[in-house]
Each structure stands twice: as C-alpha cells, then as structure tokens.
Amino acid sequence: MAKTSVRKNKDFNPTNCAVTFCMNIIGGKWKPVIIHLIRNNTNRYSLMLKAMPEASKQTLTNQLRELEADGVIERIVFAEVPPRVEYKITAYGGSLLPIIDAMRVWGRKHMPGV
C-alpha cells in the first residue's frame, strides 16, 4: 500500500490571502531550492540530494511529492533498466519562476560575504 503524506497547511487560508495561497504551494525550506535546481537541469533525485546535503531523503521525497501533487513539477519515469526518474517544471510551475528569480536576486544582494 502506498503511503501518502498529509500537509497540515495545504488548504489553510482563512482570510483568502493570495500570499498565503502562494506560500502554501512553495513554502518550506526546500521547495524553492528544488524548483531552482530542476529549472537548472538538476532534475534527478540523486543529483538534488547531492546539491542539498542538509536535506534528508524523506524530506526531499515529501517535498517532491507535494510539488508534483500541486502541479508545479512533473515526474517522468523512463522505462529502462534500472528505472530512471526525472522531474521537470510544468507550465503552472513556470509561472512561479519569477518569484524564485526574485528570491535569488534578493539573496545575492543581502547575503553576507557575497
């Protein structure tokens, strides 16, 4: 039986706020990083795990599943031996890229030592 993860904040938006809606989709420590990595062709699980050594395997798996469930990324399984899985940004996920770009620009401007 497949295990499903349940997000506590998925539909939390008591005041119907657009910012809360956005944060429900991309909020979390790793989701913006995952989107950024996939966009830059770090699109396989093992590559993402190497790029984010502080993230646990379970956390990465959960975040990828949530992004896929929200339609931000697409999981592509190649019928090969051994099986290969890649992720790509969907058109809907592409609409988030300006937000990710703004986060990168802000981070570079304010990050100590850069």
Q: What pLDDT shows up at residue 14?
A: 85
Q: What pLDDT shows up at residue 12?
A: 82
Span 75-97, mean pLDDT? 95
The CA dihedral of 22, 42, 107, 97, to the nearest 10 degrees, is -40
- The answer to whether the pTM exceeds 0.85 is yes
DSSP 38-86: HHTT--SHHHHHHH-TTS-HHHHHHHHHHHHHTTSEEEEEE--SS-EEE
Span 31-43, mean pLDDT? 96
CATH number of 18-109: 1.10.10.10
Span 101-106, mean pLDDT? 95
Domain coordinates in residue numbering, the chain: 18-109
